[in-house]
Structure 1
Amino acid sequence: MSAGPAPLRVTARRVHLWLGLTIGALFAFAGLTGSALVFYPEIDAALNPALRAVPGDARPPSWQAVVDTLHRDHPTRTGAWRIEVTEAGGAIPARYYKPRETAGRAFAPLLVWIDPVAMRTIRTGFWGDTVVTWLYDLHYRLLLEEPGGIAMGIAGLVMLLLIVSGIWAWWPRPGGWWRALRFKRDAAPIRRLYDWHKLNGLLGLVLLLVVTATGAMLDLPDQTRAVITLALPITTPPRPTVAAGQGAVPVDRLVAIAQARFPDGALAWIETPTGATGTVRINLSRPGEPSRRFPRTNVWLDPHDGRIVAVRDGLDGSGGDTVMNWLHPLHGGEAFGLTGRVLAFVAGLLPAILFYTGLRRWLRRRSQSVRASSRTACDAPG
């Protein structure tokens, strides 16, 4: 990478400065809220006494019992329930995606938690009403539904320009690498601020690029898919239906059939039928998939006879599928386990550090410039 002619470097510095002063605060805000959301299931559980009271390793007697509990405690909700199977155990989260109470919102499912020992509902709330889901909407869409998501996606692209312009403005000339990378602890405060700014940016560069790019792509899903399909195909997932019938195969039997199809798959989600012609969908997490919580290996079954009617192999998708499957796990760090989540947490702190050091340096330089102008005016002959 060449530093480029001096005028281009000056332009890059000006672009970086004014983007930092204008969108830098939003970058810092998005980073800080994103850091909190890296561990949002754990934070949510810690904030709720009812969830903390459930033994962390508790398991239900059967998954059919969980489905029966949801139907018993919420008899008017006859649509699909999506039950999360957490890796460790404890209270069982479930979502009802189409509650009538939030029909006017783009995404606001009913959230329910089941005590797997007492087999009863211990907590309910709509998406956006809890602290962490409100924070999620704030981070993702600024509480503005789809227009907010588009705005944040565009802002994410501008943030990428902010990062690139900073690297371009800093890039050392031949022979100047040691000077450019060294922290000058004996320098003036304004120089030390610059060194803190550049070194934090350089150390976290890869993390910043990954979380910013994936965040913009997640905020602009339609546009992202359209761009990816220009080079790589993306598979449309099946939406199977079955004939209405009598009787129902127990959910645990359906889970066993799905796991027999993918023996290496760990149960992640169970989705009950949407209506009389709906299927049961079993989501399985297989080794090699980037997300344990939201895997792409799915088995759709006829709830009346247990027949498999459709399958999606999360490890056998197209190139476009692979890109799409990695976006969310990369953004939140889940793709690399606890280490990845910690790195994503750190990445979220970096924009605030960069904004603070950059703003302080700009204010100091501005103050020095004002004082210099004042002295020049006072020294001028009257």
Structure 2
Amino acid sequence: MMTGRGATPLGWTGLVLAWLIVPIVLSGVVLTGAAAVDRPPAPVRQALGARGVPPADHLVELVRRGLPPGARVAALTLPGPNEAAMVMVTPSGLATGAASTGYYVDPVTGHRLGVAGPGSDLFYALRLFHQNLGMENAGRAIAGLLGLALMLSCLTGVHIGWPHGGGWRQVMRMRRRRDGLILAHHLLGGVTIVPLFLLALTGTGLAFPALAARLAGGPLPSWSEPRAARPMARPAQPLAVVLGRAADLHPNAAVRTIIWPTERDPDWTLRFADPHVAPVKVADDTGNATAVPARPPAAAYRGMRDWHGGAGPAWRGVLVLTGLLDAAMAVTGLILWRRTRRRPDHEAAAVVDI
């Protein structure tokens, strides 16, 4: 392994990973920590009104009045008891897949309670950055590749730290002779290697859902927010008619989410509050309604989501601690890398070799 001024390939890899991954790790710490103390990572707007919900098309019109030219309604989430309705809107003049903005509306008074979108909320911005670096599909792919690189870094770290002949006692004796910074770097790596690898593995799976679903042998998870294509500017079917067609198929089911037809998928999609009720597709051209089988994410995919996001306060605490320790390990690694750049080769070898 090269050392000193030439720098090691592993050292350069660690340097690049530190600069790219540490911000993602820290954003995950904030999001997970917020969930651990029961503060939601997205704005929850409680409705001010007490009773009665106006028609869905009226809720949409309340938001549409104040939209800039070219903005299109993408979805509507109907409120539950004492909840706000949310209208998702795609911005105007942006490419397909641009981040949508959610408008929270009191279903009784019609007052706009808040906005969740780029630049409007800190937690929304952090979540967007953590998921896709703020660059939608391209950013999600980059984040997934960084996860692969982080897994590789974990494996190479295990290989370097593994006793290859002298046994663990000799390794510990050698490490006790080194200065505190090197010992701290190795200790941080040893403590966090397992949860860090799991985070990288599950994060990569979430970044590439189609590949993860194929490997898990389950269906592709359906996303709740429509970003695959621009919604139609003027659908042929009125919203009231679409809701009526869905009610014909499921008379007693409460509609929860309505997704507008897009330039790629010319059907309305309606999902219900009861997850066991099959979603309904309504053709925008003919108005024909069809119940489609619900496709819940595969168990393996749900497991990845729970592991990565922190299922339960104890595991969330572990993830927060792991993120903080990993950030500290990155700082110590940068300092050690800087030492190797300043010292002659024979001295730098003593710094970076195990």
Partner Cα distance (2:143, 2:72) in 1: 35
Secondary structure class of the residue paired with 1:205: helix
* Counterpart in the other structure of 1:42: 40
Moved more, 122-131 or 160-169: 122-131
- 1:206 corresponds in structure 2 to 194
Deviation at 1:71, TM superposition (A): 2.5
TM-score of the pair, normalised by structure 2: 0.67
Do residues 20 (structure 1) and 23 (structure 2) align?
no
Using the alignment, how far apart are the partners of 2:170 and 2:58 within structure 1? 66
Q: What corresponds to 2:158 in structure 1?
A: 167
Counterpart selection for 1:137 from 103, 119, 128: 128
Residues paired across the two proteins, number: 311
CA pair 205-283 structure 1, distance change in 2 beyond 3 A: farther
Alignment of 1:123-134 (within 5 A): 123-124=114-115, 126-127=117-118, 129-134=120-125
Structure 1: gaps spanning 5 or more residues: 1-6, 260-268, 286-296, 374-382
2:342 equivalent to 1:354: no
Q: Output aligned runs, 1:6-85, within 5 Å.
A: 14-38=8-32, 39=34, 42=40, 44-45=42-43, 51=45, 54=46, 61=51, 64-65=53-54, 67=56, 70-75=59-64, 79=73, 81-83=75-77
- Please give the alpha-carbon distance, in whole angstroms, between the structure 2 residues aligned to 1:67 and 1:366: 64
* Aligned AA (1:101): S
Answer whether contact 1:31 1:350 (CA < 8 A) is retained: no
Against the structure 1 CA distance between its residues 208 and 247, is the aligned structure 2 distance closer, same or farther, given a 3 Å change threshold?
A: closer
Distance 1:138 1:235, change over 3 A: closer
**3-state DSSP class of the match of 1:344?**
helix
- Pairing of 1:300-339 with structure 2 (within 5 A): 300-301=279-280, 309-312=291-294, 314=296, 321-333=298-310, 336-339=311-314
Q: CA deviation at 1:125?
A: 5.0
1:109-124 to 2 correspondences below 5 Å: 109-115=100-106, 118=109, 120-124=111-115
Q: How far is 1:208 from its partner?
A: 0.5
Check conservation: 2:86, 2:103, Cα contact below 8 A.
yes
The answer on 1:96 being equivalent to 2:88 is yes
1:309 Cα deviation after fit? 2.0
Q: Structure 1 141/364 Cα, relative in aligned 2: closer, same or farther at 3 Å?
A: same
Query: 1:218 and 1:253 mapped to 2: Cα distance?
Result: 36
Instruction: Report what 2:144 is aligned to.
Output: 153
Q: Verify: 1:233 aligned to 2:208, yes or no.
A: no
The one-letter code of the counterpart of 2:260 is T
Cα pair 1:31 1:347 within 8 Å, conserved? no
**What's the counterpart of residue 227 of structure 2?**
none
- TM-superposed deviation, 1:65: 4.1
Q: 1:273 to 1:363 in 2, by over 3 A?
A: closer
| Higher RCO (C-alpha 8 Å, min separation 6) | 2
Give TM-score, length-normalised by structure 1: 0.63
SS in 1 for 2:77: strand
Task: Please list every run of 5 or more consecutive structure 2 residues that lacks an aligned counterpart in the other structure.
Answer: 66-70, 223-236, 283-288, 349-354
Match of 2:256 among 270, 287, 294: 270
Task: State the Cα RMSD in Å.
Answer: 4.6
Tell me the percent identity: 20
Q: 1:346 to 1:67 in 2, by over 3 A?
A: farther
Deviations 1:298-354 (A, max 9, x none): 632489xxx98234264xx7xxx2233333332222xx1233333333333233111
